[in-house]
Amino acid sequence: MLRLLSNGSGTGRTVIAIVNWNNLDMTAECVRSLLSMDRPDCEIVVVDNGSSDNSAERLAREFPGITLLPQQINLGFAGGCNIAMRHALSTGAEYVLLLNNDTYVAADFLYEMWSVIKNDNGIGAVCPKIYFAKAPDVVWYAGGDFDPWTSRITIHGWKQIDKGQFLAARDITLATGCAMLIRCSALSEVGLFDEKFWAYVEDLDLSLRLRREGYRLVFVPKARVWHWDGSSSVKLGSGSHAVSQYLSTRNLLFLARKHLHWWQVPTFTVGFVFAHLVFFSAVRLWRRDYRALSAVYRGVGDGLRQAM
């Protein structure tokens, strides 16, 4: 556990939750960047999701100050994060930061998020500005929104060069699980990730539950993270995006079944068909990823049939 510093900033204890699965090098890079942060008033928790490459043991040797929670099987992103979030709640943390293991952070990024969330008890979660690690000035996420009427998910700033156009903090409706600082009292109220999602869309489900209970979600542009996009999804699909395509399709329908009012279903369905089915079918055909193309339609079937 990192030493709790007394800096008079008024920040509460934070658990940083990272899920690792056979990805030692990136997880180690992520931990190193966290250890270099300013004001490290936090505990770094790595949940190892049943890795087969001895990464849990190797991480424990290299970083004896972190908390390692090894699991016997792969619980998915949702289940792995829930292990760390339960740890945060049981140890009295005030905040929990969910952070993808394929990221590295600016030294002041956590302090910038703290400075926003600590001053407003109505804020349930905040997210930083996220860049592509391969193109450090190109935006991966500058806030997100979801429209339940059309199924449309909007990631602001996607693949735009940052020229200062995303400088203002603002309310959002989709907080990304890639990097999300959550108030633990809000998490206790709305619950953890829904593990039926396993991976993908679980962050949108949590965002909707937080907002339903009256909490705000806020984008904090001064906090910066860099993300190696796609490193986990391609690994899951062994070179294909089949697994991620299946889960994202199935889980969007799970989300609709869980949250939509009946009067939103017709317009959501039209939006889903054109913005998701038609679009991703065309993308997978163009890329000749036929496994992922098939996965889209398996996701539809299971998203409509499987028990919630």
Residue 2 lies in a domain: no
Both 203 and 294 in one domain: the answer is: no
| Three-class SS state of 103 | strand
Backbone torsion region of residue 39, taken as left when φ is above 0, otherwise alpha when ψ lies between -120 and 50, otherwise beta? left
Could you tell me which of 126, 156, 161 has the C-alpha nearest to residue 141? 156
What pTM did the predictor assign? 0.93
Q: What is the mean pLDDT of residues 203-219?
A: 98
Residue 40 pLDDT class (50, 70, 90 cuts): low
How far apart are the C-alpha atoms of 126 and 117, rounded to whole Å?
A: 7
Domain residues for the domain of 83 are 14-233
Residue 80 lies in a domain: yes
| Three-class SS state of 241 | coil
Both 242 and 105 in one domain: the answer is: no
The predicted pLDDT at position 239 comes to 64
Two tokens at 48? 């190892």
Backbone torsion region of residue 303, taken as left when φ is above 0, otherwise alpha when ψ lies between -120 and 50, otherwise beta? alpha
The predicted pLDDT at position 6 comes to 31
The predicted pLDDT at position 8 comes to 36
Q: Which residues contact 39 (CB under 8 A, 6 or more apart)?
A: 5, 7, 9, 11, 108, 110, 111, 114
**Is 34 within 8 Å of 10 (Cβ atoms)?**
no
Q: What is the mean pLDDT of residues 145-167?
A: 97
The predicted pLDDT at position 7 comes to 35
If you search the block for the tokens 């300013």, which residue do you land on? 38
The predicted pLDDT at position 111 comes to 94
**For residue range 59-72, what is the model confidence (pLDDT) as tens digits?**
999 999 999 999 99
**For residue range 238-282, what is the model confidence (pLDDT) as tens digits?**
567 899 999 999 999 999 999 999 999 999 999 999 999 999 999
The predicted pLDDT at position 38 comes to 80
The predicted pLDDT at position 232 comes to 56
**For residue range 86-132, what is the model confidence (pLDDT) as tens digits?**
999 999 999 999 999 999 999 999 999 999 999 999 999 999 999 99
**Is 12 within 8 Å of 33 (Cβ atoms)?**
no
Both 179 and 211 in one domain: the answer is: yes
Both 267 and 227 in one domain: the answer is: no
If you search the block for the tokens 């292990």, which residue do you land on? 83
Residue 29's CATH number: 3.90.550.60
**For residue range 2-33, what is the model confidence (pLDDT) as tens digits?**
323 333 344 579 999 999 999 999 999 999 99
